[in-house]
Amino acid sequence: MVKSTIRILADVMAMGAMMPLLIFTACAAQNPAFHGAPTSVRTMRNPYVGQPPDSAKSAYHIRCANCHGENGQGMGNVPALASGATQSATDGELFWYITRGDAGNGMPSWETLSTQERWQIVSFLRVLGSSKGGPSSAHFSLGEALGIGVDAPPPEPPFTDYRFEKPGTFRKITLSDLPAPFATKSAGNGPEVVPRPENAWPQVPSGFKVDLYATGLDEPRLIRTAPNGDMFVAETRPGQVRVFRGINADGKPGQTEVFATGLKLPFGINFYPPGPNPQWIYVGNTNSVVRFPYQNGDLKARGPAEHIADLPSSGRGHITRDIQFTPDGSKMYVSVGSGSNVDDPDTTPAEKNRADVLEFNPDGSAMRIFAYGIRNCVGMAVNPITSELWCSVNERDALGDNLVPDYITHVQPGGFYGWPWWYMGGHQDPRHEGKHPELKDKVITPDVILHPHNASLEMTFYDGKQFPAEYQGDIFACEHGSWNRTVRVGYELIRVPLHQTGHASGEYEDFMTGFVVDNGHVWGRPVGVTAATDGSLLVTDDGSNSIWRITYTGK
- What are the start-end ranges of the H helices in 2-70? 2-14, 26-30, 54-63, 65-68
Q: Would you say 491 and 516 are in contact if contact means Cβ atoms under 8 Å apart?
A: yes
C-alpha span between 207 and 51 (Å, rounded): 54
Q: Would you say 368 and 313 are in contact if contact means Cβ atoms under 8 Å apart?
A: no
- 440 in the same domain as 519: yes
- 176 in the same domain as 75: no
pLDDT of residue 465: 96
- The 10 Å Cβ neighbour count of residue 410 is 19
Instruction: Answer whether residue 309 shows pLDDT above 80.
Output: yes
Pairing relation of β-strands 521-522 and 192-193?
parallel
Domain count of the fold of the chain: 2
Q: pLDDT confidence of 55, banded at 50, 70, 90?
A: low
| 72 strand-pairing partners | none
Is 367 inside any structural domain?
Answer: yes
Averaged pLDDT, 102-108? 72
For residue 545, which of 92, 179, 221, 74 has the smallest C-alpha distance? Answer: 221
pLDDT of residue 107: 80
Strands (E), 83-230: 170-172, 192-193, 208-214, 220-225
Q: pLDDT confidence of 33, banded at 50, 70, 90?
A: confident
The percent of residues above 70 in pLDDT, for the chain, comes to 87
- 177 in the same domain as 82: no
pLDDT of residue 43: 80
Is 350 inside any structural domain?
Answer: yes
- 351 in the same domain as 230: yes
pLDDT of residue 19: 32
Averaged pLDDT, 345-370? 96
Pairing relation of β-strands 306-310 and 323-325?
unpaired
Backbone angles phi, psi at 481, to 5 degrees: 110, 150
Instruction: Answer whether residue 38 shows pLDDT above 50.
Output: yes
Structural domain containing residue 121: 2-132
* SS3 call for 151: helix
Using CA atoms, how far residue 464 sits from 210, 384, 469, 538, in Å, is: 16, 12, 10, 12
- 330 in the same domain as 438: yes
Pairing relation of β-strands 456-461 and 475-479?
antiparallel
Q: pLDDT confidence of 69, banded at 50, 70, 90?
A: confident
pLDDT of residue 53: 53
Is 497 inside any structural domain?
Answer: yes
Averaged pLDDT, 36-46? 84
Q: pLDDT confidence of 122, banded at 50, 70, 90?
A: confident
Higher pLDDT, 321 or 121: 321
- 203 in the same domain as 69: no
Pairing relation of β-strands 255-260 and 268-272?
unpaired
∠ CA 407-408-414, nearest 5°, is 100
C-alpha span between 540 and 555 (Å, rounded): 26
Instruction: Answer whether residue 7 shows pLDDT above 60.
Output: no
pLDDT of residue 51: 58
- Cα 346 from chain centre: 24
Instruction: Answer whether residue 154 shows pLDDT above 60.
Output: yes
Q: pTM value?
A: 0.81
Highest mean pLDDT among 36-45, 138-147, 268-277: 268-277
Averaged pLDDT, 189-208? 95
Backbone angles phi, psi at 378, to 5 degrees: -75, -50
Is 143 inside any structural domain?
Answer: no
Instruction: Answer whether residue 171 shows pLDDT above 80.
Output: yes
Higher pLDDT, 262 or 33: 262
- The 10 Å Cβ neighbour count of residue 365 is 9
| 211 strand-pairing partners | 549
Q: Would you say 107 and 101 are in contact if contact means Cβ atoms under 8 Å apart?
A: yes
Highest mean pLDDT among 67-71, 131-135, 141-145, 258-262: 258-262
pLDDT of residue 68: 81
Instruction: Answer whether residue 195 shows pLDDT above 70.
Output: yes
C-alpha span between 371 and 456 (Å, rounded): 19
- 392 in the same domain as 322: yes
Instruction: Answer whether residue 23 shows pLDDT above 60.
Output: no
- 496 in the same domain as 358: yes
Q: Please report, for the domain that includes residue 225, its CATH number.
A: 2.120.10.30
Using CA atoms, how far residue 297 sits from 82, 245, 278, 301, 510, in Å, is: 45, 9, 11, 11, 35
pLDDT of residue 190: 85
Instruction: Answer whether residue 467 shows pLDDT above 70.
Output: yes
pLDDT of residue 227: 98
pLDDT of residue 240: 98
Q: pLDDT confidence of 52, banded at 50, 70, 90?
A: very low
Q: Which of 132, 148, 171 is the last residue of a domain?
A: 132
The percent of residues above 90 in pLDDT, for the chain, comes to 69
Is 543 inside any structural domain?
Answer: yes
- 189 in the same domain as 125: no
Is 351 inside any structural domain?
Answer: yes
Instruction: Answer whether residue 364 shows pLDDT above 60.
Output: yes
Is 149 inside any structural domain?
Answer: no
Is 156 inside any structural domain?
Answer: no
Q: Which region holds residue 192: left if phi is over 0, alpha if psi is between -120 and 50, else beta?
A: beta
- 169 in the same domain as 128: no
Q: Which residues contact 6 (CB under 8 A, 6 or more apart)?
A: none
Q: Please report, for the domain that includes residue 72, its CATH number.
A: 1.10.760.10
pLDDT of residue 103: 67
C-alpha span between 461 and 210 (Å, rounded): 19
Least confident of 12-16, 53-57, 363-367: 12-16
- 200 in the same domain as 91: no
C-alpha span between 488 and 165 (Å, rounded): 11
C-alpha span between 511 and 218 (Å, rounded): 25
The radius of gyration computed from the CA coordinates of the chain, to the nearest angstrom, equals 23
- 218 in the same domain as 288: yes
Averaged pLDDT, 21-48? 62
pLDDT of residue 267: 98
C-alpha span between 341 and 355 (Å, rounded): 10
- Mean pLDDT of the residues in the chain: 88
C-alpha span between 417 and 393 (Å, rounded): 10
